[in-house]
């Protein structure tokens, strides 16, 4: 059983990394990875949202939609759940760190439309996870997102001061680096 959850985690973090392998959640990935501090803040916020949303979505599906035979409403209700969780997170962030709140700016409410969050919720249903599996899957997805975001932010901090030819400066070199990182993550295929 422990092995099963460990495998689930490794799969979500490395083998099927949500950002670099499944290409979900690219918007905050490119948008908030300029500085390491904001990237860490963003990954903390996203981890909180992802795990909570994954669990709440599962519970909503299991105890509201399935008994009432309304499973076709899952996309709509998941979006509703995610929106509420994000709003809640925004309030908490605003209270605890106004600077992080200002810095994350529009990307915080945009976690609502982050396809990674909705993706986790829907994939939980597709893969028929139970409660614990949903929890670990959401956690794994969040950890994978955080890992990649932090690594990428560290790289971008160095890129910004390096001697890059003008046509490549800014977002262009960021995209190329992300592509190379994605190629690197393909090396994990077959691990689990």
The C-alpha atoms of residue 54 and residue 81 are separated, in whole angstroms, by: 9
Q: Which is nearer to other proteins, 20 or 155 (CB)?
A: 155
Q: Which two structure tokens, joined as six digits, stand for 12?
A: 């979500």
Nearest-approach distance from CB 48 to other proteins, in angstroms: 14
Q: Return the exposure string of 68-96: e unless at least 16 CB atoms fall within 10 Å of the residue's CB, then b.
A: eeeeeebeebbbebbeebbeebbeebeee
Residue 160 Cβ, how far from other proteins at the closest point, in Å?
7
Residue from 106, 126, 161, 167 in contact with other proteins (CB under 8 A): 161
Of 59, 70, 175, 191, the residue at the interface with other proteins (CB under 8 A) is 70
Segment interacting with other proteins (CB under 8 A) among 18-26, 121-129, 156-164, 171-179: 156-164
Contact predicate 114/85, CB 8 Å: no
Structure tokens belonging to residue 100: 């992080």
Write down how long the chain is: 192
Residue of the chain from 99, 171, 180, 183 that contacts other proteins (CB under 8 A)? 99
Structure token digits, residue 27: 């918007």
Check: CB of residue 145 under 8 Å from CB of residue 23: no
Does 160 interact with other proteins (rule: CB under 8 A)?
Answer: yes
- The verdict on 82 binding other proteins (CB under 8 A) reads no
- Provide the binding-site residues for other proteins, judged by CB under 8 A: 34-35, 38, 60, 64-65, 68-70, 73, 76-77, 80-81, 84, 87-88, 91-92, 94-95, 98-99, 102-103, 105, 157-158, 160-163
């Amino acid at each position: 059983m422990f092995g099963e959850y460990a495998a689930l985690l490794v799969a979500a973090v490395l083998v099927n990394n949500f950002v670099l392998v499944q290409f979900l959640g690219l918007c905050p990935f490119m948008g908030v990875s300029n500085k390491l501090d904001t990237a860490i803040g963003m990954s903390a916020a996203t981890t909180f949202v992802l795990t909570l949303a994954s669990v709440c979505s599962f519970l909503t599906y299991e105890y509201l939609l399935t008994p009432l035979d309304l499973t076709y409403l899952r996309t709509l209700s998941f979006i509703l759940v995610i929106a509420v969780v994000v709003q809640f997170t925004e309030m908490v962030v605003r209270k605890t760190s106004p600077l992080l709140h200002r810095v994350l700016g529009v990307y915080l409410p945009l976690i609502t439309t982050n396809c990674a969050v909705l993706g986790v919720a829907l994939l939980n249903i597709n893969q028929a996870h139970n409660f614990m599996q949903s929890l670990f899957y959401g956690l794994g997805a969040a950890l994978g997102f955080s890992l990649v975001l932090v690594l990428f932010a560290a790289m971008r901090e160095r890129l910004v001061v390096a001697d890059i030819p003008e046509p490549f400066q800014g977002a262009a070199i960021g995209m190329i680096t992300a592509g190379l990182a994605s190629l690197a993550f393909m090396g994990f295929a077959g691990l689990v």
